[in-house]
Structures are given as C-alpha cells and as structure tokens.
C-alpha cells in the first residue's frame, strides 16, 4: 500500500523504478492507502465484501489486470519458443 503523503514514498518509488529498469521487471499499479482498508480489517471482512467501490479495491483490480496481461505475454512467448523447437 502506498501513502504518497510520506517523504519516504518518493525515495522508495525511485528505488523501485531503478531496480525495475535494471532487471527488466514491470511495476504494477500502486495500491493507495484508504481508511476503508483498516475498517474492513477491523471488521474481519474481505475488502471487496466490505466496500467494493473503495479506491483500494479499484487499485487492486488495475494491478491484477496488469499482472495478468504480463503473465499472458510471458506465456505466449514461451509457447512460441516451444512451438519453434518442435
């Protein structure tokens, strides 16, 4: 979860960006800090069940879509490589 109000957040973002570029790794969409997350945790409910329209759930959806797209691209690339070796 990301709290952009904290000074360390910018430093960490820069570090992650550097590592991402060096290692050719994608950076997923950040998950914003939302008071709904703490409320859902206190009530021992899944965030999606507690408030499906909160910003954090929206961020999780975006990050999940990005991850799935990335994994599909990798899988497609491996299938091409496998088919070429036959």
Q: Given this model, what pLDDT does residue 62 score?
A: 97
When pLDDT is averaged across residues 4-27 and rounded to a whole number, the result is: 86
Spatial CB neighbours of 39, under 8 Å, sequence gap ≥ 6: 50, 51
Alpha-carbon distance of 28 to 61, in angstroms, equals 11
Please determine, for residue 60, whether its predicted confidence score (pLDDT) is greater than 90.
yes
| Assigned token pair, 72 | 């599909």
Backbone angles phi, psi at 3, to 5 degrees: -115, 100
Whether the Cβ atoms of residue 72 and residue 26 lie closer than 8 Å to each other: no
End-to-end CA distance of the chain: give it in Å, rounded. Answer: 44
Average pLDDT, the chain: 87
When pLDDT is averaged across residues 4-9 and rounded to a whole number, the result is: 73
According to DSSP, the residues that pair with 32 across neighbouring strands are 2
According to DSSP, the residues that pair with 2 across neighbouring strands are 32
Confidence band for 79, pLDDT divided at 50, 70 and 90:
low
């Amino acid at each position: 979860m990301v709290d952009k109000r904290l000074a360390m957040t910018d430093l960490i973002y820069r570090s992650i960006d550097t590592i991402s570029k060096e290692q050719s790794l994608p950076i997923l969409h950040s998950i914003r800090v939302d008071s709904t997350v703490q409320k859902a945790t206190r009530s021992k409910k899944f965030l999606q069940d507690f408030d499906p329209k909160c910003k954090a759930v929206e961020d999780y959806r975006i990050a999940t879509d990005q991850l799935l797209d990335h994994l599909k691209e990798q899988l497609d690339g491996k299938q091409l490589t496998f088919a070429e070796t036959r």
